[in-house]
């Protein structure tokens, strides 16, 4: 008999029940039991509904969070593109003047040689000793000055060339590009950060052109090189010994493999799982925003269908390995939005 019915009958002093009530009580008992079952079912449904709601709420919050991150990321990407365009414009503007400065210095070099030659020849013996001393001094030093001016022009022209290549107008198409040149130009652009931190070794193999978005690929190399320079400074300090950075490239089957190695501070085990997370950084304010690797991964993996992996030993150094298919896979990719806007999940890949 249902507990509740039993209690009620007990209260009324009707236990044991009279035989004529048995049939009636059996019906009431069945109704009580059914009511119990119904209540349990309603409770279970409510529980399920509330779990579902909680789940959806969590999902919604995660979506909002991801959206916020992507908005910031997109903002950064836009800023980078704007800076890139500006740099490209400046490089273009610098190109012509630096060329004529170089040409004019070369003209001055030849003119000076002729003039000095004539001066000696025509008045060599009749010169006063003081004038002769001055002429000797000028003739001894001007060629060196001209040579270093020409060397300076050459360096500026190289940097301008690298900047033009680096800030190459960002095509959304996958166009065959020289990855070794991309590496050397990016290194030239990063020179002011790298040169105080480390000696750079290049080991560039022979490569076919790779179908890629060059501006994006340059962005990946720049971040890896700057990260390497920062890691080296972190290990050895600003005034300490110089570290080593090595850039290498090779062809492996139908993929080009680029490695950026450093003998810097390395990445601790707990951080290794997090470095590809957007906004994860161990750097101080103004040094890093924690977006470089997240964006790089998105460019390499989502966009170019390549891989981005790393090996690191805490305290000893890190190697990042970028693999890019030589031919951009003919998938639906060109119809996809900009990868920096997609970004399903950011799992770290540890190679």
Element (H, E) at 230: helix 214-236
CB of 287 to Mg ion, least distance (A): 9
Nearer to ligand ATP, 91 or 228 (CB): 228
Which tokens is 127 given? 């010169």
- Angle of helix 129-166 relative to helix 22-123, nearest 10 degrees? 160
Chain residue whose CB lies nearest ligand ATP: 292
Inter-residue contact 173 to 216 (CB < 8 Å): no
Rounded Cα distance between 157 and 101, Å, is 10
- Binding test (CB under 6 A) with ligand ATP, winner from 167, 200, 267, 324: 267
Nearer to ligand ATP, 84 or 328 (CB): 84
Nearer to ligand ATP, 153 or 257 (CB): 257
- Binding test (CB under 6 A) with ligand ATP, winner from 152, 161, 205, 290: 290
Nearer to Mg ion, 212 or 293 (CB): 293
Inter-residue contact 334 to 257 (CB < 8 Å): no
- Binding test (CB under 6 A) with ligand ATP, winner from 112, 236, 280, 346: 280
Inter-residue contact 95 to 156 (CB < 8 Å): no
- Binding test (CB under 6 A) with ligand ATP, winner from 200, 225, 247, 293: 293
Residues 195-234: x/- map of binding to ligand ATP (CB under 6 A)? ----------------------------x---xx--x---
For residue 175, the cross-strand partners are 212
Q: Is 127 helix (H, G, I), strand (E, B) or coil?
A: coil
Inter-residue contact 102 to 154 (CB < 8 Å): yes
- Binding test (CB under 6 A) with ligand ATP, winner from 282, 325, 326, 348: 282
- Binding test (CB under 6 A) with ligand ATP, winner from 84, 215, 243, 288: 288
Q: How many CB atoms lie within 10 A of CB 23?
A: 8
Rounded Cα distance between 225 and 279, Å, is 18
233 in contact with Mg ion (CB under 5 A): no
Which tokens is 296 given? 């790089």
Q: Check residue 168 and give left, alpha or beta (phi > 0: left; psi -120 to 50: alpha).
A: beta
- Binding test (CB under 5 A) with Mg ion, winner from 218, 227, 302, 319: 227
Rounded Cα distance between 123 and 134, Å, is 14
CB of 69 to ligand ATP, least distance (A): 13
Binding residues among 233-262 for ligand ATP as defined by CB under 6 A: 262
Nearer to ligand ATP, 223 or 249 (CB): 223
By rule CB under 6 A, what count of residues binds ligand ATP?
23
Binding residues among 195-224 for Mg ion as defined by CB under 5 A: 223
281 in contact with ligand ATP (CB under 6 A): yes
Nearer to ligand ATP, 259 or 262 (CB): 262
Nearer to ligand ATP, 39 or 283 (CB): 283
> What is the rounded radius of gyration, in angstroms, for the C-alpha atoms of the chain?
37
Q: Which of 264, 218, 270, 257 is nearest to 241 (CA)?
A: 264
291 in contact with Mg ion (CB under 5 A): no
302 in contact with ligand ATP (CB under 6 A): no
> How long, in residues, is the chain?
351
- Give the DSSP letter string of 15-58: -SPPGGGHHHHHHHHHHHHHHHHHHHHHHHHHHHHHHHHHHHHH
Residues 304-343: x/- map of binding to ligand ATP (CB under 6 A)? --------------x-------------------------
Instruction: Give the interface with Mg ion as residue ranges (CB under 5 A).
Output: 223, 227, 292
Instruction: Give the interface with ligand ATP as residue ranges (CB under 6 A).
Output: 223, 227-228, 231, 262, 264-267, 271, 275, 280-283, 288-294, 318
């Amino acid at each position: 008999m249902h507990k509740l019915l039993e209690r009620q009958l007990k209260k009324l002093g009707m236990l044991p029940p009279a035989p004529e009530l048995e049939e009636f009580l059996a019906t009431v008992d069945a109704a009580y039991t059914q009511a119990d079952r119904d209540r349990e079912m309603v409770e279970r449904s409510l529980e399920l509904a509330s779990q579902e709601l909680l789940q959806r709420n969590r999902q919604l919050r995660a979506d909002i969070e991801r959206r916020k991150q992507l908005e910031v990321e997109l903002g950064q990407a836009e800023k980078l593109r704007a800076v890139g365009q500006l740099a490209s414009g400046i490089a273009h503007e610098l190109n012509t003047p630096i060329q004529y400065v170089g040409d004019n210095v070369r003209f001055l070099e030849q003119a000076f040689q002729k003039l000095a030659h004539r001066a000696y020849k025509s008045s060599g013996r009749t010169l006063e000793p003081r004038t002769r001393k001055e002429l000797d001094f000028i003739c001894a030093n001007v060629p060196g000055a001209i040579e270093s001016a020409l060397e300076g022009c050459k360096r500026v022209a190289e940097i301008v060339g690298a900047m033009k290549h680096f800030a190459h107008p960002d095509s959304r198409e996958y166009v065959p590009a020289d990855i070794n040149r991309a590496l050397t130009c990016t290194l030239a652009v990063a020179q002011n950060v790298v040169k105080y931190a480390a000696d750079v070794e290049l080991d560039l193999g022979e490569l076919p052109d790779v179908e890629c978005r060059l501006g994006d690929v340059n962005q990946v190399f720049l971040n890896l090189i700057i990260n390497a320079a920062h890691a080296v400074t972190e290990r050895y300090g600003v005034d300490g010994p110089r570290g080593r950075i090595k850039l290498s490239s090779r062809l492996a089957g139908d993929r080009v493999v680029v490695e950026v190695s450093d003998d810097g501070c390395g990445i601790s085990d707990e951080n290794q799982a997090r470095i590809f997370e957007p906004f994860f950084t161990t750097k101080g304010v103004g040094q890093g925003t924690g977006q470089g690797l997240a964006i790089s991964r998105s460019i390499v993996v989502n966009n170019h269908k390549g891989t981005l992996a790393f090996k690191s030993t805490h305290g000893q150094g890190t190697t990042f390995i970028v693999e890019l298919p030589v031919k951009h896979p003919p998938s639906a990719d060109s119809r996809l939005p900009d990868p920096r806007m997609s970004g399903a999940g950011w799992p770290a890949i540890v190679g």
